[in-house]
Amino acid sequence: MARIITITSGKGGVGKTSISLNLSLALAAEGFKVCLFDADLGLANVNILTGLYPQGDLESVISGRAGLTDILIRDYQGIDIIPGSSGVEKLAELTRDETGTLISAFLDMEAYDFFIFDTSAGISSQVLSFCMASHEIILVVTTEPTSLTDAYSMLKVLSKHGYECPVKVIVNQVMAGKAAQKAYARLKQTVTRFLPVKIEPLGIVASDKNVRASVISQTPFFILFPDTAASKCMAAIADKLIRHHGKAGDIPLELFWDNCLRFLENHRPRKIEKTGDAKAAKPDPDVREKLSQMEEKLSLLIKEVGEIRKLLETRALIPCPEPEEIILDFESWLAAKKG
C-alpha cells in the first residue's frame, strides 16, 4: 500500500507543482519509491519544469488504447511520473466500464512508498475528488492575503463535504520567517473561528532566486541546486513527512480511485432535458422559492467572505528591507514562540 498525498492550493501561481515535484525528489533521495501523478489540467506544469513531453496520458488508459506502464515516465531523477492531462478532465464522465478499466490499470502497478497527486488550483470537482479520497492533503499558500483567502475557501469546501483529517500547510515563497509565521497564524485563527476542519504547519519554502533559474533550465531546483535555501527547505519538509511515515494510514491505490470516482459520480451535474413546451420553461413556485433561498444564502455568504477577508488582511505585511534568516520548518519557530 502507498502513502497517498494530494497537494493542492486555493489559487494558481503559488508554486504548488514545483513543490510537488521537488518534494517527490526529496523523498526519493531518502530511498523511498515515489510516483508523481500530474493531475494539473491547466498548463501541464510538470512537463514545463522537467522538459518532458509524454506521448500518452491518462485518457489513453481510460479508453483502453494503452496501459499505465505504456504512459509511465520511469526513473526521472529517481521518481516515476504519470501524465494526467485531458484524462483527468474526463474522470467526471466515465462509464462503469471505463471506471473498471482505470481501477484495474492501477491494480497492475508496482508498489510505491509515496504516491503524490499534484492537482489543479481551485475547487473543481476533479480537485475535490482527489482531496476527498486522500488521507493526507498538503495545502500550499503564500503570505499574500489573496492566497490566504483562497486557501480558506478551499478548506471551507472540504469541510462542507465532511473532510475530517488535518490539512497540512506549506507556506511558499517566504522572504522572512516572521512573514510566514504571521500568514499561518492568520489562516489558523480564521479556520479555527469559522470551520470544523483542522490545519497544521508542515513547513516553509524560502524565496530563492535559484528556483527561477531551475525553471528556465527545466531542471528541478532540488537536483540543479541541492545546497540552495529552497532545496534545504524541501529536505526539511520531506524529513518531517518521513518521521511520521506509517501514521497517516496508507491505503491501496484501487481504494483511492474507487473513492475518487464515487465522489465524482455523486457530484456530477444533472443534465437539464430540453423540451419544446414553452410552459415547461416557466419556473414553478417551488423553484422560485428555492431561488429566493439561494439568493439569501448567497448574500450571507458574501457578507461572511467580506468579514473573513478583512480578518486576513488585518495588519498587512510590510516588506522588510533586509530579509531575516529563514527557519526551515514550523516546529522550530513554534517552539521558539512558546519559549
Residue 22 or 176, more confident: 22
CB 105 within 8 A of CB 99: no
Give the range among 61-75, 94-108, 162-176 with minimum mean pLDDT.
94-108
CA distances from 26 to 150, 204, 239 (A): 27, 15, 9
Q: Is 37 helix (H, G, I), strand (E, B) or coil?
A: strand
Phi (first) and psi of residue 24, to 5 degrees:
-60, -45
Average pLDDT over residues 151-165: 94
Cell digits of residue 198: 483542522
Name the burial class of residue 296, with classes exposed (0-12), middle (13-18) and buried (19+) by CB atoms within 10 angstroms of its CB: exposed
Residue 118: count of CB within 10 angstroms of its CB: 26
The DSSP secondary structure of 25-38, one letter per residue, reads: HHHHHTT--EEEEE
Average pLDDT over residues 34-47: 73
DSSP label of 327: P
Cell digits of residue 276: 419544446
Residue 192 or 93, more confident: 192
Q: Above 50 in pLDDT, residue 312?
A: yes
Average pLDDT over residues 243-272: 78
Domains and CATH numbers, the chain: 3-266 (3.40.50.300)
CB 161 within 8 A of CB 130: no
Phi (first) and psi of residue 31, to 5 degrees:
95, 5
Helices 16-29 and 229-243, packing angle to 10 deg: 70
Q: Is 183 left (phi over 0), alpha (psi -120 to 50) or beta?
A: alpha
Phi (first) and psi of residue 38, to 5 degrees:
-85, 95
Which residues partner with 139 through β-bridges? 8, 169
Residue 306: count of CB within 10 angstroms of its CB: 10
Phi (first) and psi of residue 43, to 5 degrees:
-120, 5
Give the range among 55-59, 78-82, 199-203, 323-327 with minimum mean pLDDT.
323-327
Separation between Cα atoms, residue 27 and residue 34, nearest integer Å:
7
CB 18 within 8 A of CB 173: no
pLDDT of residue 70: 87
